[in-house]
Amino acid sequence: MRLATSAALLLMTSVSGAALAQDAPVAAATAAPASFAEDVWTYAEPETARVSHVDLDLVTDFDNKRLYGTAVLDVVAEPGAKSVVLDDNGLQIQSITDMDGNALPYTVGKSDDQLGSPLTVELDGNDKIKITYASAPGADALQWLPREATAGGQKPYLFSQGQPINNRSWIPTQDSPGIRQTWDARITVPKGLVAVMSGDKLTPDGVPTADGRVSYRFKMDNPVPPYLIALAVGNLAFQQLGPNSGVYSEPELIDAAASEFQDVEKMISAAEDLYGPYRWGRYDMLVLPPSFPYGGMENPTLTFLTPTIITGDRSNTDVVAHELAHSWSGNLVTNATWSDSWLNEGFTTYFENRIMEAVYGPERAAMYADLDYAQMLKDIENAGGMDAPSTRLHGEPGATAGQLDYFKGSTFLRTIEKAVGRERFDEYLRGYFDRHAFRPQTTAGFLSDLRANLIKGDTQLENQLQLDQWAYQPGLPDNAVHVRSSTLAEVDRELAAFNAGGPASAVDTDGWSTQQWLRFLRGVPKQQTAARLKEMDKGLNLSNSTNPYVRSAWYEIAIPNRYEPAVPSLKNYLNSVGRMLLIRPLYQALEAQGDWGHAIAVDAFAQAKPGYHPMAQAMSEQILAGPSQ
């Protein structure tokens, strides 16, 4: 994720970029609804006028790849407020009026490549405004797939991805996680397609319209950060999994998806036992086409999931547990700005692990935690070491190295648990979610709550935990807890024998989960002979593996050795998987190989680009362009 330019930051009225770059804590958001943390990734001025509700009435136009219609915004304005400032990234606005149809003057300010433009609307005493518009051409949040790019090959597909600040390309609102909003929507789609959204579905079967289309209605009565407003339209089937859960996908994938996610009700029960009731009604899931750029997205009532986690052995259902955990950490209590995204992801990774332990046992949870710790150390090394600024949890938005928001954040919480005891920490976290439900949070606010409700003036415990060092300083404090897995220890013994020269055929991979494969492949030295790579590929069936994680890890070995026999399957892989976690390291590895790798990457991307989400396209293009000057 690219940072805001300094020019864009000068346009901000909310805060300067420097304030969030300091190591010292920033002021915490208070509980008062009218108080807002400073967010450099929005043009909004919520302390003057804020959006409290969004009412969408939109038509999906697959021919022109646009959504068009209206958005009615409820605005809460302070006395004397003359205008409301929204976020706009390329929206094509036809008119803005009050509810009587009277035109309201508006201006669209200077555009920034990342942030878009401020859209300032004069209020003239109105607390509702109606915007008639179409989504931006090539909107960052939307991917329109032709029917050929779907599993069935018969009907087109549309899905959105709002996090972190993409929804401003199809919804005119204040696109900041700290400005929570309720919403409702009517979505009109071509006959034969089904619309789903991240809210209560009021018309399960659609309502026919006079022109032969169908409309679906949705609502979300809980205030949510706007990035959680999500939409998908396609040829969708549904299968119930439990009283309050089910899965959507294209019909061709529904049986495999339902089988893979059969344990979701157990996960919901485990999560509620840990940290209180699930407050969002249903918990449904949507398996998207392969171009979905993430493993999952925690949209309320409807988690979006990549098909890459469907491997037939349920070894990747930690992704489901992760997105479910976001129903508490992220959706219920949300990072107020993207400088504190670890409050979403670190909490959720810790919580996810606790769910996996409750459902599958301590050793499986230990396996995930052990892998995460190893990846955390790798991310710190890749960032430049323990002193690198990008290894801090709180800092410039989007600047945290690798997955440190997830893994350093969860290790921080696990370290607190070890210090105070699990029972005491669980009691604290349950209270934390209750105290801050449906509100944004900052790092400083979390630490203040922790000191008030857990540490309670215990100086010895305060010193032991090193809270400020964890939150605001780079690197890894010396009290970090490393959970070790006996299952991965056995893999390490297989790995040691192989690295000592043992044959690939002697490696016993029978019944290996994804995590065991990753431990092994990530432990193989990158420098190998062509003969050894051929032996690995043939003996372990790597290029032909049906597991996307295994394939990606294998190519990370093959590419640095310029192993030509793997190139055809590598290109095919890059053309069939759009998940950024899996393709990013491959493009990076190819670019690191100079002209040889660049030529392969350019050729692969040219074929794959039409099937990538705009976010994955931008990421790949940035890698192929080389380091910025």
Residues belonging to the active site: 323, 406
CB 21 within 8 A of CB 65: no
Residue 510: exposed, middle, or buried by beta-carbon count in 10 A (0-12, 13-18, 19+)? exposed
CA 289 to chain centre: 16
Containing H/E element for 183? Answer: strand 181-189
Beta pairing partners, 118: 87
Terminal Cα distance for the chain, rounded:
17
Residue positions counted in the chain = 629
Structure tokens at 499: 């690295």
d(CA 149, CA 179): 36
CB 557 within 8 A of CB 534: no
CB 175 within 8 A of CB 50: no
Neighbours of 531 (CB within 10 A): 8
Please name the amino acid found at residue 108: V
CB 169 within 8 A of CB 135: yes
Peptide bond preceding 525 in cis form (omega within 30 of 0): no
Instruction: Tell whether the torsion through CA atoms of 424, 425, 426 and 428 is positive or negative.
Output: positive
Write out the DSSP string of 309-328: G--SS-TTTHHHHHHHHTTT
CA 89 to chain centre: 20
Cα–Cα distances in angstroms (integers) from residue 7 to residues 21, 111, 467, 503, 607, in the given order: 16, 10, 34, 57, 35
d(CA 372, CA 369): 5
Structure tokens at 276: 């209180």
**Which residue carries 């190998």 as its tokens?**
528
CB 367 within 8 A of CB 485: yes
- The radius of gyration of the chain from alpha carbons, rounded to an integer in Å, stands at 24
SS3 content of the chain, % helix, strand, coil (to 5): 40, 20, 40
Please name the amino acid found at residue 437: A
